Amino acid sequence: DAGVIQSPRHEVTEMGQEVTLRCKPISGHNSLFWYRQTMMRGLELLIYFNNNVPIDDSGMPEDRFSAKMPNASFSTLKIQPSEPRDSAVYFCASAGGVETQYFGPGTRLLVL
Amino acid sequence: GQQVMQIPQYQHVQEGEDFTTYCNSSTTLSNIQWYKQRPGGHPVFLIQLVKSGEVKKQKRLTFQFGEAKKNSSLHITATQTTDVGTYFCAGNSGGYQKVTFGTGTKLQVIP
Please tell me the distance in Å from A96's CA to the nearest CA on chain B. 9
Task: Classify residue A78 as exposed, middle or buried by CB count within 10 Å of its CB (0-12, 13-18, 19+).
Answer: middle
Closest chain B residue to A90, measured at CA: B42
Task: Categorize the per-residue pLDDT at A98 as very low, low, confident or very high, splitting at 50, 70 and 90.
Answer: low
Lowest mean pLDDT of A11-25, A96-110, B46-60, name the range: A96-110
SS3 for chain B is CCCEEEECCEEEEECCCCEEEEEEECCCCCEEEEEEECCCCCCEEEEEECCCCCEEEECCEEEEECCCCCEEEEEECCCCHHHCEEEEEEEECCCCCCCEECCCEEEEEEC
Predicted confidence (pLDDT) per residue in B31-81, tens digit: 999 999 999 999 999 999 999 999 999 999 999 999 999 999 999 999 999
Answer whether B100 sits within 8 Å of A45, measured CB to CB. Answer: yes
Average pLDDT (A69-77) is: 96
Task: Categorize the per-residue pLDDT at A73 as very low, low, confident or very high, splitting at 50, 70 and 90.
Answer: very high
- Supply the pLDDT for residue A69: 97
Contact present, A86 and A17 (Cβ < 8 Å): no
Q: Which residues of A touch B38 (CB under 8 A)?
A: none
